[in-house]
Structure 1
Amino acid sequence: MLRTTKLLFSAVMAAAAIAVISPAQAGVPESKDPIKLAVNEWTGQHLSTYIYGALLEDMGYNVEYVTAGAVPQYAALATGNLTANPENWDNNVGEIYPKAVASGDIVLAGKLGLQTREGWIYPPYMEAKCPGLPDWKALMKCADAFGNAETFPDGRVIAYPADWGTRTTDFVKANDMPFVSVPGGSEGAMIAELKSALASKEPILMMFWAPHWIFAEMEFNWVDLPAWEDGCDEDAKVGPNPNAVHDCGFAQANVNKAAWKGMAGKWPAAYKLLEGYTLTNPDQNTMMLEVDNKGRDVKDVAKEWVAANKAKWQPWVDAAMK
């Protein structure tokens, strides 16, 4: 009964949200063709996309959600096979993205508003097994403490899924670290491995990112990696190893809203909405907890955010419709 009441309330609120948008729809949608939004591999990006998509749908647009890898998506964005990605992390993008932005095939519609961090995390109890942490150089002397049956005596570091790029593998190789870089599976699989390690106090070292709900539920420390310097991926003189490139820590991301160059001309109000759209870490953390920890449907959580946050999004819609 309680769940039925909650669903009814959400339906009423969502209907109210639609009613607020609908009267202003003169001339919108400008085209009935679908706006194709990229859906990448992590929950936060799903939420950013489905919230933006829900607002577009309420404005009358035809929206299509397209599963796309974080790096492979850029070829599709550059050609218009994808229309937009509301949450685009710009520090793990391969070669196509910077060229497409420079040429104007991909345009940036401003920052989403998230404060980010990427790097290696480990449980605090590992500091007793690896004195010197969080300094990354300590890992050189205690790699075996992070090993398993497949890697021992080398350590094991879990990298991002293979199609997110090879930064962890490149860093390990560039610094001659006695570690094996193992690609993670999905975001869910990586979280499951973190939970399992913490439950049994097993060693684990993993490439991860913030914002993320795990930092509200579990305790991890960040490895202090060597600071990123411009040129580190091209010039061996930059970074801690004078004989290698890719030897710096990870450049921290800007989270931009990216779009196909033709979006503003074909769907002007939709593009203006993208320009105005923002989310904060608290917004995402709360929603991610609902999805990843409580097992709720990501689209339902996104729609509930829309229903509960008219004061935030109404100015974006009003500005887009002018």
Structure 2
Amino acid sequence: MARTRITALAAAVGLMAVTGCGAADMTRQASPYAGAQGAKTVTLSVQSWVGAQANTAVAQYLLEHELGYRVDTVQIDEVPAWDALSQGRVDAILEDWGHPEQEQRYVKDKKTIAAAGDLGVTGHIGWFVPKYFADEHPDVTDWKNLNKYADQLRTAESGGKGQLLDGSPSYVTNDKALVDNLDLDYQVVFAGSEAAQITQIKQFAKEKKPFLSYWYKPQWLFEKVPMTEVKLPAYKEGCDADPKKVACAYPHTPLQKFLNTRFAENGGEAARFLKNFKWTTEQQNDVAMMIAEENLSPQEAAEKWVKANEPTWKAWLGK
């Protein structure tokens, strides 16, 4: 998400960046453990949104407690993560929202990255308004009527236009092109991160104010702030091929896992486990909710989930 993108909530969501022994910031250094020869070590890339953190927390917990591996985690944006994975600086990406250029380059051409199967979760990016506003103004859920509500959706940051709230500029987003190509009287405003965007959405909801936001499923926030999707022009294969000419909705994307090719071939139990790792949207949301709303650390959330879901993860171990 390609979505990337301080409050107490931000701190809770950001905990994964510093979990795991020797966790490192990929903007400063590579993990010293990725690709280590003859050692039971695994390095996992973790993206900044809490759903991806839930994946990594559970995988890390099981690798450490069930398979005896030493796990390192590094937080890195989506596109740079592909470079790091190709170079062997990390061993695995557990949630990719679709990067066809990187997949062509590294999986098909260079063969330095190997596909590791579905995560089991289907992702979808879209534009959403709060349900209370959609109930009051049902036609707002058709993009053709958005300009009618631009004045009501204006903020101090949107420069006299309606505000379309996005998260991080590092996420997968076609929003600026959509606004331009659909002739919408809106300004894309980046909150800066998922945590900051959540804080803003929750504040709008608390005050019962209307808002229009880039958002995505799966995401636990829908349980706290019910939202209704705005229908954009229907997605058709290839309609988003030219980033500057996009004028269609985002696709529904089965989220994928990828491994460094050497690790995929020589990573033993860890590689087999990560290939087998597959869970549901509901299961991911359970862990994400514990991290973001219950203020559990990612490892505490993972331990709680693991203890309650043994039949699910036992199958991943292949035992």
**Aligned-pair distance for 1:235?**
6.2
Alignment partner, residue 272 of structure 2: 272
Whole-Å separation in 2 of the counterparts to 1:156 and 1:83: 39
Counterpart of 1:35 (choices 42, 52, 69) is 42
Task: Check the 8 A contact 1:37/1:82 in 2, yes or no.
Answer: yes
Deviation at 1:135, TM superposition (A): 0.6
Q: 1:108 to 1:85 in 2, by over 3 A?
A: same
1:136–1:223: 8 Å Cα contact kept in structure 2? yes
Q: After superposition, where does 1:142-157 map in structure 2 within 5 Å?
A: 142-151=149-158, 153-157=160-164
Report the 3-state secondary structure (helix = DSSP H, G, I; strand = E; otherwise coil) of the residue aligned with 1:48. helix
2:127 match: 120
Kept in 2, the 8 Å contact 1:82–1:260? The answer is: yes
Check if 1:80 corresponds to 2:88. yes
Give the match for residue 185 of structure 2: 178
Compute the displacement of 1:314 (Å): 1.7
1:261-309 deviations in Å (ceiling 9; x for gaps):
1112221221111121111122122222221112111111012222332
**CA 1:81–1:229: 2 relative to 1, 3 Å:** same
Could you tell me which amino acid in structure 1 is paired with residue 68 of structure 2? G
Whether the 8 Å CA contact 2:167–2:214 is kept in 1: the answer is yes
Residues 99-139 of structure 1 show CA distances to partners (whole Å, capped at 9, x for unaligned) of: 22222222111111113322011113334775622111111
Q: Secondary structure, in 3 states, of the residue corresponding to 2:250?
A: coil
DSSP 3-state at the match of 1:259: strand
8 A Cα contact 1:71 1:94, kept in partner: no
2:101 — aligned with what?
95
Of 199, 208, 215 in structure 2, the residue corresponding to residue 208 of structure 1 is 215
* Match 2:227 to one of 220, 226, 241: 220
Deviations 1:198-242 (A, max 9, x none): 111222111111122111222211111111112223469xxxxxx
Residue identity in the other structure for 1:195: K
Listed one character per residue, the Cα deviations across residues 146-177 of structure 1 (whole Å, up to 9, x for unaligned) are: 11133253111012301113421221122221
Q: Between Structure 1 and Structure 2, which shows a larger proportion of strand residues?
A: 2
DSSP 3-state at the match of 1:122: strand
Give the Å deviation of 1:316: 2.1
Quickly say closer, same or farther: Cα 1:250–1:168, change in 2 above 3 A.
same
Please tell me the root mean square deviation across aligned C-alpha atoms, in Å. Answer: 2.2
User: Cα–Cα, structure 1 residues 79 and 251, in superposed 2: closer, same or farther, change >3 Å?
Assistant: same
Contact 1:71–1:164 under 8 Å retained in 2:
no
2:258 aligns with 258
Report the Cα distance in structure 2 between the residues aligned to 1:43 and 1:144, rounded to whole angstroms: 32
Does residue 66 in structure 1 map to residue 91 in structure 2?
A: no
**Equivalent residue for 1:54?**
61
Give, in angstroms, the shift of residue 35 of structure 1. 1.6
1:30 CA displacement: 7.7
CA distance in 1, matches of 2:156, 2:91: 45
| Structure-2 separation of matches of 1:82 and 1:184 | 28
Structure 2 gap segments, 5+ residues each: 1-35
Percent same amino acid among aligned pairs?
Answer: 29
Tell me the SS of whatever aligns to 1:41.
Answer: coil
Letter in 2 for 1:79: Q
Q: Which runs of 5+ in 1 are unaligned?
A: 1-28, 237-243
Q: Which residue of 2 aligns with 1:314?
A: 314
* Equivalent position amino acid for 2:186 in 1: F
Aligned length: 282
TM-score, normalised via structure 2 length: 0.81
2:285 is the counterpart of 1:285? yes
Specify the code of the residue in structure 2 equivalent to 1:83.
Answer: D
Could you state the TM-score of these two structures normalised by the residue count of structure 1?
A: 0.81
